[in-house]
Amino acid sequence: MSEPIEVDECAQPAPQRGSGPFLKIAPPLSVPLRHFALGSAAFLVFAAGLCLGADRLVGFGFEAKFALGLVHVLTLGWIAQTILGAWTQMISVHGETPLASIGIVKTSWWLFAAGLGAFVVLLWSGSDRYWIAAALVYAGLLGELAVLGVTHARAVRRDWTWTHFTAALGWLSVLGLIGVLMAIDRHRGTIFRDPEGGLIAHVHMALVGFVTTTVFGAGYRLFPWVSMHQLRSKLAGRLSFILLQIGLGGLAFDALFFGRRLMPLWAILLAVSYLLYFSQLRPLLAGGATFDPSLALVLLGVAGGALWVTVGVGLACGWIKDEPSARAAYVYSALIGFFAPIILSQSHKIAPFLVWLHVYSPRQYTPPVKVPKIDDLTNRGLAWGEFFTLAVAVPLGTAGFWLERGDLVRFAGIYLFATAAFYAWNLGTTLRHIVRPDNRWTLPS
């Protein structure tokens, strides 16, 4: 019979492993947060421009440089920067491999930011040489894409999120090139035989190929109801991705080379893809989910996406008259109705998690410890403010552009500026913990 083991009651509990493995893979906190900060500032600028320049936006066409600059403030400044910032974290941590080069990402970010500022200034000043700044933006983008692409190719985990991100990275690289070529071709007219077709391809590569594909892919990790549905059946998700890529590929080639002859077909394929993806939210309808600001913003995004898809199918099939006002409403319902609430919802998960990971998560600790929850690092009241103001801005702006009512667009801009201000305030609340950690919780040793 073995002798009893003596227990030293005064001994300290053995140190336990914390978030060390994640911190070894994750990039420095400054990398994603510089993208989020620039994105938040661009969101404020866009909303202010919507308020102050409402009368210059209604009924605009391709030649309206103020509208073109303002749209790119939102798409390149807020949407692209927020996604790129999230990618620097998700692609490395989700793929279980560190970023290929932190230095190239930082340098490329500066090129992108400088090029974006110059691009907008040149457009708003009436200069015809804005293609130079567009090329600078694309150079910065290519630098980040190169690092993200190499990191993505080295990923250990290759699931359905990885597949979506692969497609989105490809579409982003192509749409950026087409954007630069369009900027150059505005003065030569030799590259695109059908400039309007080129614009349609460029816009949909951005809206569908880059942003929607990214949102759908990230949803398999960030939308718990979609993940729950995947445990029962993967058919809807697979079909959604396939139809999304076929519909966008057909639309882009048709617009660029074949005179837009089959637009109704591509629009219907894309609409079916959206329906299949959102059908995966059925576990949510079974109840049990906590109705918080994040969930409310997701549901608002689903409603805005339905509006966007409906208008798009109507335009493609000729049921809605194809004119600048309807196109403006179509783009606004996509950017503000669908993407804005989804991005806001996930930003309030990603940014607090990053701060928690780097500031509060113990790497090596001796129990017991007090570690905050992710929700403790964000302000729920401000998040509800984002939801309610955005819920007003979406229908007001869509109706204002469609009816060419500058007053409605201006009111939408006021509410959207409030949304952007709440978001910036909330982001600042989260980032404050980096400078001044809360002593209620245990800090890593």
Cα–Cα distance, 260 to 252 (Å, whole number):
9
Residue with tokens 């391809």: 201
Kindly state the tokens that stand for 283.
Answer: 């576990």
**351 half-sphere exposure, CB direction, 13 A CA radius:** 30
Question: Can you list the alpha helix ranges (DSSP code H) found in 8-80?
Answer: 20-25, 30-52, 54-57, 65-72
Cα–Cα distance, 359 to 1 (Å, whole number):
50
Q: Note the pLDDT of residue 424.
A: 95
Q: How many residues does the chain have?
A: 445
Q: Which residues contact 221 (CB under 8 A, 6 or more apart)?
A: 90, 94, 161, 227
From 142, 154, 45, 44, select the one nearest 97 (Cα to Cα). 154
Q: Judge if the upstream peptide bond of residue 368 is cis by omega within 30 degrees of 0.
A: yes
Q: Note the pLDDT of residue 182.
A: 87
Q: Note the pLDDT of residue 20.
A: 55
From 257, 282, 281, 280, select the one nearest 197 (Cα to Cα). 257
From 264, 220, 254, select the one nearest 240 (Cα to Cα). 220
**107 half-sphere exposure, CB direction, 13 A CA radius:** 9
Q: Note the pLDDT of residue 260.
A: 86
Per-residue pLDDT of the chain (445 residues; tens, 9 = 90+): 333 333 333 434 433 344 556 677 888 889 999 999 999 999 999 999 999 988 888 876 545 888 889 999 999 999 999 999 999 998 998 888 999 999 999 999 999 999 999 999 999 998 888 889 999 999 999 999 999 999 999 998 888 889 999 999 999 999 999 998 888 877 666 777 778 888 899 999 999 999 999 999 988 877 766 666 555 667 888 999 999 999 999 999 999 888 888 999 999 999 999 999 988 877 776 666 677 888 899 999 999 999 999 999 999 999 999 898 999 999 999 999 999 999 999 888 888 888 888 887 765 555 666 777 777 888 889 999 999 999 999 999 999 999 999 999 999 999 999 999 999 999 999 888 888 877 777 666 5
Distances (CA, A) of 335 to 49, 224, 343, 376: 15, 24, 10, 29
From 338, 329, 336, 331, select the one nearest 403 (Cα to Cα). 329
What domains, with CATH codes, occur in the chain? 17-277+288-435 (1.20.210.10)
Q: Note the pLDDT of residue 16.
A: 39
Q: Note the pLDDT of residue 367.
A: 61
The residue type at 284: L
The residue type at 359: V
Q: Note the pLDDT of residue 408.
A: 95
